[in-house]
Every structure is written in structure tokens, then in C-alpha cells.
Amino acid sequence: MNELRNIRDEEKLLIQFLLSQIGLTEAEYPIAQEVSEYEGGFMGSISMAGSDPGLYDGDLVQVEYTDADGVEVIISLTRDKNGRLLDLDFWKTDFSKLRRYPTPEALTILRK
């Protein structure tokens, strides 16, 4: 697992927004104050501190947006089998580096 770092304000804001879109709150799904980056931060995916990817239990919500270079990005907020947030997973459809971190108003809900 990669080194832990403090969660960034933009990441926390995005997670709070995604939870609100499915009628959940941070009280129900606390947001870890520390995260680790997947792919060295290349696409923006993060794993919550204390989570175990082997306990993946599904997506809470999936959204998309268009990055600054015009490429579609799919974002999934996932949970684990213990009912905790697992990760915020970004998949840029051409596998290139994320150029601009999304803001809530730029997102389109795909699946709740």
C-alpha cells in the first residue's frame, strides 16, 4: 500500500457531495482523515486509511465528468463489507493522467 497522506479538501468535498446524492451523510459513512493514492495519484483514485480492498462490497454511487482534455472520467465511491467507505476510484477512459479535479457541479450521476 502507498504512503498515507491527509485527505485534501477537494477530495472530502467530493465525497460529501456524492454521499448527499444518495441520501447518506458523513455520520453514516465517516470520511477517513488519511488516504493513500492508487497509481501514485496519476488518475486521482484514493483508498481510505484502515480500509481493506479485499473487503470490497460494491459501489455506493457512480458519476462521470469530462476532464479538461475532453476525456470522460468515471468515478465510483465504494464501501467495504464492514459498512465503511473503501475508496474513491477514478477511471479515465483513455488511461491518461487526470488534468483537473472535478467539482460537484461538473458531475453527472450514472448509478446510485
pLDDT lower than 50: segments of the chain? none
| pTM of the predicted protein model | 0.91
> What share of the chain in percent tops pLDDT 90?
80
Q: How many CB atoms lie within 10 A of CB 53?
A: 12
pLDDT computed for residue 43 by the predictor: 77
Q: Say if CB 21 and CB 5 are below 8 A apart.
A: no
The rounded distance, in Å, linking the Cα atoms of 9 and 11 is 5
pLDDT computed for residue 41 by the predictor: 66
The rounded distance, in Å, linking the Cα atoms of 4 and 47 is 9
pLDDT computed for residue 39 by the predictor: 77
